[in-house]
Amino acid sequence: MVTVASLFLSCQLPMALITLHNVTVGFGNAPVLSDISLSIEPNARACITGRNGEGKSTLLKVIAGLLKPDSGEIIRDTALRVAYLPQDVPADRPGTVEEILGAAVADEARLHIARAVASRLSLPLEAEFNALSGGMRRRVLLGCALATEPHLLLLDEPTN
């Protein structure tokens, strides 16, 4: 039997992973982001474009939770897992690929996921991170992001 309550629940739209309402971020005089509002739904794919210095990285850092806005509201799904891959690859990061992937997943039980990701990305687990080329370092960082099985993957720069 269908009741009004169950019919209402079955017609609801899925909740957004994250919603920003009137978010503003500034560094000094002028805001970099001014009254930004957006929602990211599950399975959505989006691209942020703009010239250098227009706030693309700042917006991604706000979404990732790495930067707190000066004003506005951020509503996150309580179980949301976000992975953020920054523009810059670290110049010096000691450890092997396997050690870095293991640190990304934070526990031994999930290390099998990191190893599976490494296999799919053709990453040499025994190689020292600092001995790798810039492209392979970026691939390791992508592997770290993917190994966390994020609901939301933020890639800062098109080459990512």
pLDDT tens sequence across 92-119:
999 999 999 988 887 776 788 888 899 9
**pLDDT at 10 exceeding the cut of 50:** no
**pLDDT at 22 exceeding the cut of 90:** yes
CA distance 142 to 147: 8
CA distance 83 to 48: 17
Q: What is the pLDDT of residue 7?
A: 36
* Distance of alpha carbon 89 from the chain centroid: 15
> What's the rounded mean pLDDT across residues 73-85?
92
**pLDDT at 11 exceeding the cut of 50:** no
Position with higher pLDDT, 124 vs 109: 124
The pTM assigned to this predicted structure is: 0.81
CA distance 129 to 151: 26
Dihedral of alpha carbons 68, 72, 78, 80, sign: negative
